Amino acid sequence: MAHKSLFASFKGRFSNKTVSHNLAGGRAYEYDDRHKLAQLAVTGTIGDLHYQNAEQELQAVLTAASKVSDDFLAKTAIYARQNGKMKDMPALLLAVLASRDPVLLSRAFGEVVTNGKMLRNFVQIMRSGQTGRKSLGTRPKALVQAWLNSASDYQLLQASVGQSPSLADVIKMVHPKPRNAEREALYRWLIGKPCAAENLPEQVRDYVAYKEDPKGRMVPDVPFQMLTSLPLSAKDWATIARRGSWNMIRMNLNTFLRHGAFEDEQVVADVARIVSDETRVRKANAFPYQLMTTYQALSMQMPRQIREALHDAMEIAVSNVPAFDGKVVVCPDVSGSMTWPVTGTRGTATTSTRFVDIAALVSAAVLRQNKSAEILPFEFDVREVSLEPRDSILTNARRLAELAGGGTNCSAPLAWLNKRQKAPDLVIMVSDNQSWVDQSWGSNNKTNMMAEWEKLKKRNPKAKLVCIDIAPYGTSQAKSRPDVLNIGGFSDAVFEQIAAFAEDRSSAEYVVGEIERIELR
């Protein structure tokens, strides 16, 4: 769910000069209003980070949202959900839109609220008062009612897992009018009121019966979390593992191991086959970094077959990384600020995956498809590293991430290339953009990264620079222009954006253009 402590109740083009400083105190360029909101929307998770806390990030988003049109705000919420695959940020933008344009809210709602978790996120943020109101209001309430009434029985059961607010809280809040006796019974059961048991969905009846007496009964086909408090056998856990969704299986491999499901070699083989199934991996639409998080968290006792299946799944997840023409250089930032959790510190919800892991993952994925690519990890200066293109993506990513530490100097890899008179065709930077080490020299009206880039351009006028910004700090070290693309996010969608820019199929305004092209239904 959205950050509890924050959501508890209670225009022009990119500037042609250095107009700001980043949060580390270095010179930086500010994004224009629309680009800034887009960048925050696909990188922000509303958590405490190295250079800002959750409250500061929230205020930055609300300020950026206030400076764009309602139409662009609605489209950005959709883009963040569908392309950026974000959760909290699209719900937040939708809540802001609710106080500004109820009609546009109606048109964007279904594209953003795609499951029960997103519904609860939206209600939680609306009720927090952080976006200007503490009640849902007529239109948002009607939209929530409509979602509840159109959801399948299973979707409602999935939505019933989780608190703050719970689905029962939401139902009590909006009082949806059930469309038939079956839905009335389900609503009453979900909020803990007496109901006509014979009208409940079959899977709920099976669940109730299993809770009362599991002997001789099959494990009911309900969301996994509804079963965890029940006295399940290893065989029951094996059944759950075999029939779960791809994402549910990925997230609970250690749980299945702990409860004995993998004592059966056939279960191990079946789960490994599901995890590495190409169709299921693509349909799950998971972040590549989520696979990395899963792999990092695996128990040492996890069967090798399942470990290898995760490697296979990662190769599938980033298989859309293109082979670029010409000489490619990838520069992952491995400085100290990149060791912060990618979702920020959020108590027990804090991920083990760090920004440096994302940078390393992008680098390893590009190397996989571009075997002659040069990888230049940097902090104070460029670090030496030996990578083999044929090694797995997870293996190479781990080697890069192990270099983490030191200050941030975004101009270092470009200076390294210039010193050696190299002239790559495409340079990809992956950073949080908080450069400060290189602030004691260079021109006062540009960042040192741009100064070094212009030196490189004299050797190769056709060279292009792509800066992947993976932290919601709101400034860049490179100025957007025809040869420089600033994009944000850590989903696999960034690879297509890089390809389009490298092949002259898009401009430096790619992200804003993609958002503007979204059609509101």
Band of residue 317 on the pLDDT scale cut at 50, 70, 90: confident
Tokens of 405: 């530490």
**370: pLDDT strictly greater than 90:** yes
Distance CA 285, CA 414 (A): 34
What's the pLDDT at 134? 82
Distance CA 147, CA 114 (A): 9
Q: Which of 265-269, 321-325, 451-455, 508-512 has the lowest mean pLDDT?
A: 508-512
Distance CA 43, CA 346 (A): 16
Band of residue 2 on the pLDDT scale cut at 50, 70, 90: low
What's the pLDDT at 228? 84
Residue-wise pLDDT tens digits, 281-316 = 998 877 788 898 899 999 999 999 999 999 999 999
Distance CA 270, CA 251 (A): 16
Band of residue 435 on the pLDDT scale cut at 50, 70, 90: very high
**58: pLDDT strictly greater than 50:** yes
**10: pLDDT strictly greater than 50:** no
Amino acid at 336: G
**27: pLDDT strictly greater than 60:** yes
Q: Which of 289-298, 358-367, 432-441, 495-504 has the lowest mean pLDDT?
A: 432-441
Report the pLDDT averaged over residues 419-445: 86
| Phi-psi label, residue 433: left if phi above 0, alpha if psi -120 to 50, beta otherwise | left
Cβ atoms of residues 380 and 420 within 8 Å: no
Residue-wise pLDDT tens digits, 151-201 = 999 999 999 998 889 999 999 999 999 999 999 999 999 999 999 999 999
What's the whole-model pTM score? 0.89
What's the pLDDT at 1? 52
Distance CA 39, CA 42 (A): 6
Cβ atoms of residues 235 and 263 within 8 Å: no
Q: Which of 15-29, 239-253, 327-341 has the lowest mean pLDDT?
A: 15-29
Distance CA 31, CA 478 (A): 10
What's the pLDDT at 18? 61
**502: pLDDT strictly greater than 80:** yes
| Percent over 90 (pLDDT), the chain | 70
What's the pLDDT at 401? 93
Distance CA 61, CA 269 (A): 46
Q: List Cβ neighbours of 278 (8 Å cut-off, separation of 6 or more).
A: 316
Q: List Cβ neighbours of 151 (8 Å cut-off, separation of 6 or more).
A: 116, 159
Q: In terms of Cα–Cα distance, which of 320, 254, 322 is closest to 282?
A: 320
What's the pLDDT at 46? 86
Residue-wise pLDDT tens digits, 445-464 = 789 999 999 999 999 999 99
Band of residue 318 on the pLDDT scale cut at 50, 70, 90: confident
Q: In terms of Cα–Cα distance, which of 369, 370, 375 is closest to 334?
A: 375
Tokens of 380: 């104070």
Q: Which of 9-18, 226-235, 350-359, 467-476 has the lowest mean pLDDT?
A: 9-18
Distance CA 388, CA 485 (A): 28
Band of residue 19 on the pLDDT scale cut at 50, 70, 90: low
| Phi-psi label, residue 489: left if phi above 0, alpha if psi -120 to 50, beta otherwise | left
Report the pLDDT averaged over residues 393-407: 93
In the sheet with 328-332, reading across from the earlier edge strand, the strands are 374-375, 328-332, 426-431, 464-469, 484-488
**9: pLDDT strictly greater than 80:** no
What's the pLDDT at 61? 95
Cβ atoms of residues 126 and 136 within 8 Å: yes
Handedness of CA 82, 83, 85, 89 (dihedral sign): negative
Q: In terms of Cα–Cα distance, which of 398, 378, 380 is closest to 388?
A: 398
